[in-house]
Amino acid sequence: MPHYLEEQDSHVTKIAVLGAAGGIGQSLSLLLKTGLAPLVLRSPGSHVHMAMYDVNRDAVAGAATDLSHIDTPVSVSFHAPDDAGLERALTRAQIVVIPAGVPRKPGMTRDDLFAVNARIVAGLGDAIAAHCDLAHVAVLLISNPVNSLVPVLVERLAAHGAEQAARHVFGLTQLDAVRASTFLRDALGSDSHDMPLVPVVGGHSGDTIVPLLSQAPGADALSPDARRALVHRVQYGGDEVVQAKNGAGSATLSMAYAAARVTAKFVELQMGLVPELHDTLYVQLRDARGRLLAPGAEQVAELVPGVEYFSVPVTVTGKGVSHVHGELLARMDAHERAQLLPVCVKNLAANIRAGQEWVAAAP
């Protein structure tokens, strides 16, 4: 398997998957290996390479070798700590996807989970700062808790002098929208092949997740009780998976699917197939000094006072976030504005503060 061929060709789009041997990482890598092939075929002379990194050498070597046998033009390499693998995986990477970390296990509190994963994400942030072009790389964070770890990653990169890091770091919250779409279709009893699109904003855990059913086609046919039940199911859908796995795992396949959809958009952008992408991503609205991320961020910040990070529709170019769109928030109905959003803001502010305080106390 050629490990470093990708570094010799300026027409290569390189994706580094950090934590590629885990439950999300392997599934995500499979979806990227198979799903990105059409993009390569649309762009003659281009190439996509996926560098898979994990601390478990045997697992990542096995997964990458297995994937390399699949007949698509997306090439694969594996990297582990014992051969300067993190540096090699990150060098010349334009897109870094981070599913690294541990899942929540029985008996583990959210604080326990955060403490472990914050150390992992901070270390990866240091490596990204050392080996990537921070003016252009896109960093997509999957590791939980996203609400707290995105601030950890942004501030860790900023500590290395990357003042524009927030424009290039994205928390992936699309699983909430994927679930909302699926659950609404179930609730409506629809037999249509078209999935209803449900805008979801806020954060990525519990009641920080705000499904905007008022702007979802067909949702107005549901009774108020059915809508409340649907909101709760979207907010706590991850618990269904944990319970179904009897505490032995969490949502890996559905998360990998959602993450692969987003990553494909960034690959399409990096390859020059589109001038910009549009998606809902968890981003910093303004920094501690009050500087706005991009045009439009002020409108959103005014609607969600007290939080510096929020999952909201954004436009992204090769230079990072270029615009923040607050139209969905402006169109919320009375229940969403008065009931769902205040709870989201309160709890999200606490999550963000936990991440910032961890960074301040970290060595």
Each domain of the chain, given as residue ranges in start order, spans 5-172, 173-363
Architecture, CATH, for domain 5-172: 3-Layer(aba) Sandwich (3.40)
23 annotated as belonging to a binding site for a ligand:
yes
9 annotated as belonging to a binding site for a ligand:
no
179 annotated as belonging to a binding site for a ligand:
yes
104 annotated as belonging to a binding site for a ligand:
yes
| Options 3, 49, 131, 204, the catalytic residue | 204
117 annotated as belonging to a binding site for a ligand:
yes
Question: Which residues, 6 or more positions from 185, have their beta carbon under 8 angstroms from its beta carbon?
Answer: 192, 195, 196
Ramachandran area for residue 54 (φ above 0: left; ψ -120 to 50: alpha; else beta): beta
Q: Does the pLDDT value for residue 21 go beyond 50?
A: yes
Ramachandran area for residue 290 (φ above 0: left; ψ -120 to 50: alpha; else beta): left
24 annotated as belonging to a binding site for a ligand:
yes
With bands split at pLDDT 50, 70 and 90, how would you rate the model's confidence at 107?
low
Matching fold, domains 5-172 and 173-363: no
At residue 10, the pLDDT reads 60
22 annotated as belonging to a binding site for a ligand:
yes
With bands split at pLDDT 50, 70 and 90, how would you rate the model's confidence at 5?
very low
- Summarize the confidence of residues 107-124 as an average pLDDT: 87
More confident residue, 124 or 135: 124
171 annotated as belonging to a binding site for a ligand:
no
Q: Does the pLDDT value for residue 6 go beyond 50?
A: no
255 annotated as belonging to a binding site for a ligand:
yes
At residue 2, the pLDDT reads 47
The 10s digit of each residue's pLDDT in 272-314 is 999 999 999 999 999 877 889 899 999 999 999 999 999 999 9
Task: Tell me if the domain spanning 173-363 has CATH number 3.90.110.10.
Answer: yes
With bands split at pLDDT 50, 70 and 90, how would you rate the model's confidence at 183?
very high
204 an active-site residue? yes
347 annotated as belonging to a binding site for a ligand:
no
**Core vs surface per residue 258-291: b (16+ CB within 10 A) or e:** bbbbbbbbbbbbbbeeeeebebbbbbbbbbeeee
At residue 174, the pLDDT reads 98
